[in-house]
Amino acid sequence: MPDDAKPAILVVTTVPPDLRAKLASDYQLVDLEHLRWEAGAASPDLSRFKIALTTSMAGADETLMAQLPQLGLIACNGAGLDKIDLKAAASRGIAVCHTPDELTEDVADFTIGLIYAASRRLVEGDRFVRTGGWLKGRMTLSRSLVGKTLGIVGLGKIGTAIARRAVGLGLEVVYHGRRPKPHLDYAFEPDIGRLAERADILVLSCAGGEETHHLIGVDILARLGPDGILVNVSRGSVVDEEALIIALQAGSIAAAALDVFASEPRIDERFLALDNVVLQPHYAALTFETRAAMVGRIHREITAFLEGRPLHDAARR
């Protein structure tokens, strides 16, 4: 089928190549950036598009929705919805689909890897061998995990999967969130400051957005203490990076492991000079299996929308 005969999808930001290739086989993909370039100083005509494709990092605000009078579906590559205006979408009758389930297990696995990397200093050990440090002596000690307390901020699907793995490794799990979950066999801590005091490792798996912006700052880091470890797999906005860098430089906390940052991919260069932080390129969900599942789900949801079949609509949860 020629492209101009296929249903059109407005691509509002850069999307992964695997997703683009899958959708391009059945749909005409039109890049918003290209339309804006063609229009020059004028505003591009977006009135024909019923579907917009975005990512969790780019989102979709009410201004964009207002430019798309026929918009019926926002398809999002990713689990996070904090950058999509769900209230605006619901008020305009726009469905929002995303991939909330497909990346849970891989992100949880990766988080456990980050915990080990920071506590047992795995990345430092690799550098120690490669740079010849072992030829000069033994590396200094790391921290054991067995019997320690893992504090989790945000016990949603990913947080619960992390907790399940942590218990199997001999960690005690305590969590903080909007409300307790009595059906789960983990201790609830209503005060995040007290959670930081109780935890040896503090894992962030909460949603981003205004509610959690700089949730972790000077006070929480101080209460985590010089033996504490911070792990962030949520959103970079959850952590006050200035406070974190100062704490790592001063040894006010022992270490951190970060998969997300306030500015990606151009992270604060001061992180690069610190040996007590493990840095990852927003990589927790990037496995062959998870990518295939995410791409497949987005394709199915778009097809369901066009065929008038039910789909998972996050705007009307």
Q: Are 153 and 203 in contact (CB under 8 A)?
A: yes
pLDDT digits (tens, 9 = 90+) for 44-59: 999 999 999 999 999 9
pLDDT at 3: 64
40-49, 217-226, 236-245: which range is least confident on average?
40-49
Delimit the domains of the chain by residue range.
3-100+288-316, 104-279
- Selected catalytic residue, list 33, 62, 211, 264: 264
CATH superfamily of 3-100+288-316: NAD(P)-binding Rossmann-like Domain (3.40.50.720)
- Selected catalytic residue, list 143, 270, 282, 299: 282
Residue 2 has pLDDT above 80, yes or no: no
Q: Are 32 and 77 in contact (CB under 8 A)?
A: no
Mean pLDDT, rounded, of the chain: 96
pLDDT at 120: 98
Q: Closest Cα partner for 52 from 79, 80, 30, 35?
A: 30
Domains 3-100+288-316 and 104-279 share a fold: yes
Q: Are 77 and 54 in contact (CB under 8 A)?
A: yes
- Selected catalytic residue, list 98, 165, 176, 235: 235
235 is catalytic: yes
Residue 314 has pLDDT above 80, yes or no: yes
Q: Does domain 104-279 bear CATH number 3.50.30.60?
A: no
CB atoms within 10 A of CB 175: 25
pTM comes to 0.92
Q: If you average pLDDT over residues 226-254, what whole number do you get?
A: 98
pLDDT at 282: 96
| Token pair 């995410």 in the structure block, residue | 294
Q: Please give the share of the chain, as a percent, with pLDDT higher than 90.
A: 95
pLDDT at 5: 77
In whole angstroms, what is the distance from residue 20 CA to residue 293 CA?
A: 14
Name 55's bridge partners.
77
